Amino acid sequence: MDALTRWQRRRALRRDGLPDEARAWLAAPWPDPGRHWRATGFTVLDLETSGLDPRRDAILAIGLVDVDEGRIRMETAWETLVSPPPGQPVGVPAIRVHGLLPDRLASAPPAAAVLPMLASRLAGRVLVVHVGDVARPFLARAFRAAWRCGLWMPSLDTARMTSWLDTHPQLGGRDQQDVPYRRLADIARSLGVPAGRQHDALADALTCAQVFLAQAGRLERLGLGTLGGLRRIGA
């Protein structure tokens, strides 16, 4: 944890009226970057959203599963729909992607009601997402809106890990600097990992967890077996 993040967390903890769930999340110890990745707890998460701009669009579904001791813990799988804010309709293009119709979302809890459970699942762990440049800003906006907190926790991006593995000369990958992000299902197939139903938050989280395990195993064989080693590649 850098000095700025440490200061932000401590400053937030001093605020009056901070919910217990937020306080527990902020006070949780930061995972040790020197520990072996198999001794570290990860939570793999996927979002379905109404678009790609967190300033205009909303989280519509969350799916997650824990990875502990190098294994996916299926009993921890969890998913929820999330109702969009009033006056923020879900457009037809987004519905065509994920199939979440307005009548299903109308009875779902709002993001602020989902956040306590999400924070309790993430406390003291490492967040794993695919294409963090999309997922992390949506999560950060939800934390700011509810608790005036940033997404102050370590994270890994399987898309970034894929780009590194694609270009690393020891693996015989492509020798180029900028490799575009690949679709999660395509990465899964290239690794021999079964891909579940796409654009379903929990199914994609499970696919992402399997991809992460395959990638972490390959990086471990290259001498990057600690959490810090993985983060140098995929943070």
DSSP of 146-170, one letter per residue? Answer: HHS----S-EEEHHHHHHHHHH-GG
Residues β-bridged to residue 46: 63
CA distance linking residue 90 with residue 20, whole number of Å: 32
Please identify every stretch of the chain with a pLDDT value under 50, giving residue numbers as ranges. Answer: 169, 172-179
What mean pLDDT value characterizes the chain? 91
Does the pTM exceed 0.85? yes
Which of 109, 85, 108, 105 is CA-nearest to residue 95?
105
Convert the pLDDT of each residue in 103-113 to its tens digit.
Answer: 889 999 999 99
CA 155 – CA 4 distance, rounded (Å): 16
Q: What is the per-residue pLDDT for 92?
A: 84
pLDDT at 170: 56
Q: What is the DSSP letter of 39?
A: G
pLDDT in tens, 74-104: 999 999 999 999 888 888 888 888 888 888 8
* pLDDT for the residue numbered 175: 41
Contact call for residues 159 and 185 (beta carbons, < 8 A): no
Per-residue CA distances from 32 to 36, 82, 95, 105, 133 (Å): 9, 32, 40, 38, 24
DSSP type of residue 99: -
Dig out the tokens for 8 from the structure: 């932000």
